[in-house]
Amino acid sequence: MLRIAICDDDKQLCLELKSMLNEISENSDENFEISTFYGGEELYDFLEVGNRFDLIFLDIELCEINGVEVGRKIREELNDELTQIVYISGKDTYAMELFDIRPLNFLVKPLVEDKVELVVKRARKLIKTTNQYYEYKAGNVYFNVLISDILYFESSGRKVKIILKDGEVKEYYGKLSEVEEKLKKNDFFSIHKSYLINYNHVIEYTYEYVKMSNNEILGISQNNRKAVREKLLQKKQRMRHV
């Protein structure tokens, strides 16, 4: 079951998108539970009391609380990095403004079913990925950490530290290069010989550093700056190419 929310003050668009999603559901092996909201306040109030969605189609040009602000509240106030957000708008000029909200994609109205279907497929794939665990061994005991909870790995002498979003730090004997190899299919990449970061927790970056979702700033080594910048830009542009 994929729980999906549509939030747009255009009721006709909501009906059209819901119809597209129902058709996509019928042609797939998964059922969708679809909820519709006509304002950002209504959606946020629903989420604030503990309700959650796997995927939210969120209009930017909403009255009072716009879609950008709703997305920011989801990420920062609810501390929700798992919900996939797809912005929809009649304009295509919001990419930079949306970067720190880390949306899955950006769709320009009028919506096209083929593009909506591609977004849903990618969301399903990412949702499965966020349920994956990173396994490590400390002493004679094996431990599992939810990958989506990991901000970054840090190499410290012969040890690897795992910095988690709740502030907890795990550590074990190992090499950062081995971690990178294990996570090469996930959104992790090296910015320094000592840091392997989770792109999904990057909220700001420059040529010299990245700022993580816990507001910690990590330096990018001079040798890595060009490659890191290219990777960050590629990730950011993913939402434009679906």
pLDDT value, residue 117: 95
pLDDT value, residue 130: 61
Identify the CATH assignment for 135-231 out of 3.40.1350.10, 2.40.50.1020, 3.40.50.2300, 1.10.3720.10: 2.40.50.1020
- pLDDT over 90 for what percent of the chain? 54
pLDDT value, residue 242: 47
- Which residue in 186, 184, 209 sits closest to 199, CA to CA? 186
pLDDT value, residue 134: 87
Name the residue ranges covered by the structural domains of the chain. 2-130, 135-231
**Residue 118, H or E segment:** helix 113-130
CA geometry: angle 133, 136, 138, nearest 5 deg: 145
Q: Which residues of the chain have pLDDT under 70?
A: 93-97, 129-131, 235-242
**Residue 49, H or E segment:** none
Identify the CATH assignment for 2-130 out of 2.30.110.10, 3.40.50.2300, 3.10.450.50, 3.50.50.60: 3.40.50.2300
pTM to 2 decimal places: 0.58
